Amino acid sequence: MIAVNSPKVAIYLRVSTDDQNTDLQRSELLTQASLRGWTPVIYEDHGMSGADFDRPALNQLLADADAGRLKVIMAWKLDRIGRSTQHLAGIINRLLRSDVGLVVPSQGIDTSAGSMNPASKLQLNVLAAVAEFERDLIRERTKAGLRAAKARGVRLGRETVVTEAQRAIAQEILQHNPDTSVTSLSKRLGLSLGTASRLKAFMSRSHFLM
């Protein structure tokens, strides 16, 4: 029986296509929540890629965490939350700021003791550090690719239109999902459709995504 004042835990479920279902994720996470005496609140995204940063249920979950309405977030696997390490790093930092725990039972991740607990804080910071390290590697590969492209005489429109950070983010997005639309890319990067289109075409022909 769940106690009246038991902490609320957000159970996040996601499947990539509409013909998939979240039954297995739901069953396992509800069992875990029940064993711990937690009150579960379900947040569910259907037909949403893990590479898509903008997901309605995940956005609401994070807003509720920021507002202090949640104490713990549970997911079946980290890739349910996001496949981009940069995105995961951003989420982890938000959890640290809001003192919200993260539990991924299948991968042995459990910071439900609270982010101020040294062991829990270490786990989250290690995850964030790995994500930051990978982002730095992507940035370095992007710079190397730009130098190589420049040496071959390839130009990417006006050099000041797209920042290095935007190029790195675009590369990560396109590596995970090469079919990302120009419209989606422009919204995520804050670029015009024309610039986003040239950026995508440039990265494809310059072998940045290999």
CATH code of the domain containing 172: 1.10.10
- pLDDT value at residue 14: 92
Cβ neighbours of residue 191 closer than 8 Å, sequence gap 6 or more: 161, 162, 166, 185, 199
Q: Both tokens of residue 146?
A: 């730009």
Co-location of 127 and 169 in the same domain: no
CATH code of the domain containing 16: 3.40.50.1390
Q: Facing residues of 41 across strands? A: 10
- pLDDT value at residue 31: 94
| Residues recognised as catalytic | 16
Among the listed residues 171, 165, 166, the one whose alpha carbon sits nearest the alpha carbon of residue 189: 166
**pLDDT category of residue 203 using cuts at 50, 70 and 90:** confident
Residue 67, in any domain of the structure: yes
Residue 107, in any domain of the structure: yes
State the angle between helix axes of 85-98 and 56-66 in degrees (0 to 180), rounded to the nearest 10.
30
Neighbours of 154 (CB within 10 A): 13
Instruction: Tell me how far apart the alpha carbons of residues 104 and 102 are, in angstroms, rounded to a whole number.
Output: 7
pLDDT in tens, 42-94: 999 988 876 677 889 999 999 999 998 988 999 998 888 876 767 787 888 88
Co-location of 91 and 187 in the same domain: no
**pLDDT category of residue 210 using cuts at 50, 70 and 90:** very low
**pLDDT category of residue 160 using cuts at 50, 70 and 90:** very low
Neighbours of 142 (CB within 10 A): 21
- pLDDT value at residue 162: 81
Q: What is the mean pLDDT of residues 185-204?
A: 84
- pLDDT value at residue 23: 92
Run of H or E including 40 = strand 39-46
| Residue-range definition of the domain harbouring residue 175 | 154-205
Cα distances from 63 to residues 1, 112, 129, 162, 175, in angstroms, run 28, 19, 23, 30, 28
